[in-house]
Amino acid sequence: MSLPATLTELQRAIAGGELSAAQAWQLQRERRASLDARWHCLSEPLEGQLAQAASSGPLAGIGLAHKDNFDTWGRSPGCGAGPGRSDPGRPAAWAIEQLRQAGAGHLGALVMAEHACGATSANAHFERCINPLHPEAVVGGSSSGSAVAVAGGLAYGALGTDTAGSVRIPAATCGLVGLKTTQGLIPTQGLSPLAPSLDTIGVLARTVADAAELLKPLAPTLKPSPNTAPQLRAWIPGDWLHAEVARVLGELSSELGAQPVDLQADHQHLSSLADVVLHGEVAQLQRAALLAGRLSAPVQALALPGLLMPPPWLPSALAVRCAELRRFCQTHLPAGSVLLMPALPHPVPDWQTVHPGQSGFVVRELLALHRCMGLINYLGLPALVLPIAKDSRGLPISVQLVGRPFHEHELLAVAAQLQERRFGSAGFKPGWHLLATEN
Amino acid sequence: MHPLPHSKPDPDDLSVWVERGLALRAGPVDPAEVQRQLKHLRRLEPSARLAVATAGVAARADIPVQDFGACLRDLA
């Protein structure tokens, strides 16, 4: 008996009686250890009764695994700094509990960049995560284990968190669909904060349909959009995109008849504001530990600039946020439209280029991973990354779709059409399940 | 340990501060080194005037902070 490649295929197999939810769950648990030995994505397997998949519910028998910055039943998360801590009586985070009530099982807490501070999987506390698509390719962060577990066949989907691209960057490096939801759509109760004004929960999945299934219990009140054919607009910055990425995005834009827009000035301005909020809020939360010299290097890297920024920067950046959002929507994202823009400006780099401390480390390559991300967090908008082509090494080149607030379904509808057009319903890698079982 | 360069950064460019922070990631964390770097960076702290110009916003106390969640819902 074998497991199918995608979450929605497994749902159909269980509904059709090809295998029971219990059998599916058992098969997923049996392969968990061998897959983790291969990809190094698990921080800690979960075994308690509440982590088991149910036999009924829309996600019955489905094995998920989640970034280790969510509370789980009786456990405080390790947040990428080590294993979690037993904490009897602690309830699970709201999002984790919603997935349990839908029938999903929780296979384990996943490796992440320490305290969600990092655009890659670099983490001194754990073995390096392996990108299932290519062993030399970087795994983006900070939800690095989430991307590897889903791409490597360990889990059918995963929660991540996105403060400055931490769902979208790992998804883009591993050929996955990564959905960052509208700020506030999914309650962050039970999530360890990084920068509360920007922190957002998102999902990583192998296909658009899988991502849509995961979103249902997480956003039960979100109404499907009646507009399945929004007007498409495209921003393709000519001067700092890698030629291969620019060509792929240019061809896609022409193919779809998207209206070109120029975000260059706003991109720079809004990214600066996003940086101010990110560094400022991390510094506020970590001030005591930073001044005492107790912060680890990755957290210190984010907190130091915030501590040293002039104090008016943070309140000023927050004060103009509503006005900036209204202006952005009015100018670039009117009602009924979806914006296409780059996800990563360069092809997926090798890990040694972007892991600090390696001889080949290039700081600007690391910063490039963030370049198209932070402004979206500042604006609080939903965004979805999706692979649309393969580069010369067979690694994904992804596009980022940005929608108006609470228009996740519109993004999913556009993404489903793009995925079907480029790779078919199986997504970027039809053999996800083979990656999981080959020796 | 990767000490910070001693050349004066462009105070208008936040990326300088970010890169300086990232440079710290390459080595082990030593509290004494953190204090030394903090002292060094404080000397380079840009003026509020330049800083505000960089962020492109007015640092005015009279800007009301609106409910961002309500703003998102308004635009849904």
Query: pLDDT tens across A261-299, in order?
Result: 999 999 988 998 998 899 889 988 888 787 777 788 788
H or E segment at A290? helix A264-291
Q: How far is A23 from chain B (nearest CA, A)?
A: 42
* Interchain contact A52–B (C-beta under 8 A): no
- What average pLDDT does this structure show over B44-63? 38
Q: What is the mean pLDDT of chain A?
A: 93
Q: Which residues of A fall within a CB distance of 8 Å from B66?
A: 321-322
How many beta carbons lie within 10 A of that of residue A404, not counting itself? Answer: 24
Query: Which string of DSSP letters, residue by residue, matches A35-81?
Result: HHHHH--EEEE--SGGGSPPSSSTTTT-EEEEETTB-BTTEE--TTS
Q: Which two tokens stand for residue B34?
A: 């953190």
Q: Which residues of B fall within a CB distance of 8 Å from A276?
A: 14, 55
- What average pLDDT does this structure show over A110-132? 94
Q: Which residues share a beta bridge with A201?
A: A161
* Interchain contact A295–B (C-beta under 8 A): yes
Are residues A308 and B76, on separate chains, in Cβ contact within 8 Å? no
Distance CA(A30)–CA(A25), nearest Å, equals 9
Q: How confident is the model at residue A305 (pLDDT cuts 50, 70, 90)?
A: confident
Q: How confident is the model at residue B32 (pLDDT cuts 50, 70, 90)?
A: low
- What average pLDDT does this structure show over A319-337? 95
Q: How distant, in Å, are the alpha carbons of A16, A242, A310, A437 from that of A375?
A: 44, 20, 21, 39
Helix axes A94-101, A208-218, angle to 10 degrees: 110
Spatial contact of A254 and A360, defined as CB atoms under 8 Å apart: no
* Interchain contact A301–B (C-beta under 8 A): yes
Q: Is A142 among the residues known to form the active site?
A: yes
Q: Is A348 exposed, middle or buried (0-12, 13-18, 19+ CB in 10 A)?
A: buried
Per-residue model confidence (pLDDT) at position B26:
39
Q: Is B62 exposed, middle or buried (0-12, 13-18, 19+ CB in 10 A)?
A: exposed
- What average pLDDT does this structure show over A195-219? 97
Per-residue model confidence (pLDDT) at position B4:
36
The one-letter amino acid at A224:
P
- What average pLDDT does this structure show over B24-28? 40
Sorted by sequence, the CB contacts under 8 Å of residue A253 that are 6+ apart come out as A232, A234, A236, A260, A340
Chain B, nearest residue to A184 by Cα: B69
Percent of chain A with pLDDT over 70: 97
Per-residue model confidence (pLDDT) at position A364:
80
* Interchain contact A310–B (C-beta under 8 A): yes
Q: Check pLDDT > 80 for residue A254.
A: yes
Are residues B29 and A320, on separate chains, in Cβ contact within 8 Å? no
Are residues A292 and B48, on separate chains, in Cβ contact within 8 Å? no
Active-site choice (A143, A144, A146, A166): A166
Q: Check pLDDT > 70 for residue A347.
A: yes
- What average pLDDT does this structure show over A403-423? 95
Q: Check pLDDT > 50 for residue A12.
A: yes
The larger pLDDT score, comparing residue B55 to residue A308, is at A308
Distance CA(A96)–CA(B39), nearest Å, equals 43
- What average pLDDT does this structure show over A426-435? 70
Query: pLDDT tens across A53-65, in order?
Result: 999 999 999 999 9
Q: pTM for this one?
A: 0.89
Spatial contact of A17 and A41, defined as CB atoms under 8 Å apart: no
- What average pLDDT does this structure show over A12-41? 96
> Angle at the Cα of A411 (from A246 to A238), degrees rounded to 5?
15
Are residues A405 and B18, on separate chains, in Cβ contact within 8 Å? no
* Residue located via tokens 């290039």: A362
Half-sphere exposure of B4 (CA within 13 A, CB side): 26
* Interchain contact A71–B (C-beta under 8 A): no
Q: Check pLDDT > 80 for residue B46.
A: no
Per-residue model confidence (pLDDT) at position A438:
53
Where do the H-state alpha helices sit in A320-373? 321-332, 351-354, 363-370
- What average pLDDT does this structure show over A5-11? 96
Spatial contact of A431 and A10, defined as CB atoms under 8 Å apart: no
Q: Check pLDDT > 70 for residue B38.
A: no
- What average pLDDT does this structure show over A226-233? 85
Q: How confident is the model at residue B9 (pLDDT cuts 50, 70, 90)?
A: very low
Distance CA(B64)–CA(A315), nearest Å, equals 10
- What average pLDDT does this structure show over A240-247? 96
Q: Which two tokens stand for residue A17?
A: 């009686």
Domain boundaries, chain B: 14-74
Q: Which two tokens stand for residue A78?
A: 């390790």
Distance of CA A155 to the CA centre of its chain: 14
Where do the H-state alpha helices sit in A371-406? 374-379
Distance CA(A195)–CA(A270), nearest Å, equals 16
Q: Is A2 among the residues known to form the active site?
A: no
ipTM above 0.90, yes or no: no
Spatial contact of A115 and A80, defined as CB atoms under 8 Å apart: yes
Q: Which two tokens stand for residue A23?
A: 């059998």
